Amino acid sequence: MKPSMMLLMAISAPVMASSPSLTIFQHSQVLTDFELDSMKGKYINNGQDYYFGLQMQTQFIQDNGVQQQVGMQIEFAQVDNQPSVNITISDPNVVASQNSFQLDTLGQTAGLQQRIQIAGNENLAINELDMAQGRLAPLLNGINVAVGTTLVSNNGNTIFSANSNTVGYQVELASGRANQGISYQNGNGQLVQSIFIDGLSHGVINQSTLRYDGMPVGPIESNILGRQISDLTALGF
């Protein structure tokens, strides 16, 4: 069976997710007065608490048939009457790193940016975005990451960043790379999904899930990928 077909079958299987719980914020970080000031008036509506969550997952299969999955989740919520941020990643075997990467942005356009470049045969590349009102379930096997941290996976293939201007990750493939994340450059906030393949029989699927609560659907739908992401990435990352 071709790797691309195996990947499609693997992600089409139903996944049971647990109900969202406030326990996911027990290790969250309380924001400083400076950070709170920059958020003022942007994450509440009519006195209600505001929730914003972004889950990014990348599933990939390489030419040797090995399948892997990488994930990262960023959430803002009100905990004990104080706004806080919670960042988790799916890899428990990571170590601190001095390495860095830059998301493959396309110019200075704000909002969603999806990019695919493929050279070779029998390759599969898909970027997907799902946005709806609600809250994210906890990331499966997620571990907490501190703001200002750069981590690398045990096999050296994945770099996770929660640093200034970039919150996301990059996966190095045998013949290519994939990345997802939030970028903040020249005053523009961007949600980036990028796949580059230069080889045979690779399959990569980038999936980003946005969830929000505490604000009418209309304003969120029109602003979340531009103004809101720009605001979020200005909170000291």
What residue segments make up the domains of the chain, in order of their start?
3-13+22-232
pLDDT attached to residue 215: 57
pLDDT attached to residue 151: 93
pLDDT attached to residue 74: 92
pLDDT attached to residue 181: 92
The ranges of the chain with pLDDT < 70 are 1-49, 78-81, 106-109, 164, 185-188, 215-237
Answer whether 181's CB lies under 8 Å from 102's CB.
Answer: no
Residue with tokens 């020249």: 186
pLDDT attached to residue 195: 94
Interior/surface letters 132-153, b for 16+ CB within 10 angstroms, e for the rest: eeebbbbbeebeebebebbbbb
pLDDT digits 0-9 by tens, 177-223: 999 998 876 666 788 999 999 988 889 999 999 988 875 555 545 45
Which amino acid is it at 120?
G
pLDDT attached to residue 128: 93
- What's the distance, CA 17 to chain centroid? 18
pLDDT attached to residue 230: 47
| Signed CA dihedral, 229, 185, 108, 56: sign only | negative
Q: Which of 102, 12, 55, 58 is nearest to 202 (CA)?
A: 58
